[in-house]
Amino acid sequence: MRYVKVLVVLAVLGAYPAVALAHKAPTKHQSTALVRATDSYLHETIPGQCLREKISTPDTSWAEVGFAPGPNGHLPVICAKFAADGVILFHFRAGQWHFKGAGSDFRNGNGGCALSKTVPRKVITDFKLC
């Protein structure tokens, strides 16, 4: 019985980091601000239903914005002219979301992560950027 308790404790502790690093959906206010920041970065107004925003759980001052498929798994027709396969990274500082990077592959030529000097490691891991 003692070994079963030890295994249960180890299983719970092993699952904790995975839960702690799961990104979350933004609040309505964050979502609106991120859509505006994306529009500003792209110099184009993108319909809100085209975007998917994520907030990092380990550091909620970081967000990722990408294009979102609709309920049927396809990008809505209205979004087709804007769509890309990458993501845009934003950092919240001084009351605003600031652009920090964009792309679909952030690995550099030597196999490392090109974002490692500007984005915290926990955020990179949370968003699976590298």
Q: Are 65 and 34 in contact (CB under 8 A)?
A: yes
| Local confidence band at 23 (pLDDT 50, 70, 90 cut-offs) | confident
Predicted TM-score (pTM) of this structure:
0.78
Residues 30-34: what's their mean pLDDT? 95
Rounded to whole angstroms, how far apart are CA atoms 87 and 20?
22
| Rg, C-alpha atoms of the chain | 18
- At 11 the pLDDT is 40
Rounded to whole angstroms, how far apart are CA atoms 61 and 97?
8
69's tokens: 């498929």
Give the range among 4-8, 17-21, 60-64 with minimum mean pLDDT: 4-8
User: What are the angstrom distances between the C-alpha of 94 and each of 52, 97, 106?
Assistant: 23, 8, 26
- At 127 the pLDDT is 94
| 71-128 per-position pLDDT tens digit | 788 888 888 888 888 999 999 999 999 999 999 999 988 889 999 899 999 999 999 9
- At 83 the pLDDT is 82
- At 39 the pLDDT is 95
Query: Average model confidence (pLDDT) for the chain?
Result: 83
Q: Are 75 and 47 in contact (CB under 8 A)?
A: no
- At 121 the pLDDT is 95
Residue 2 has pLDDT above 60, yes or no: no
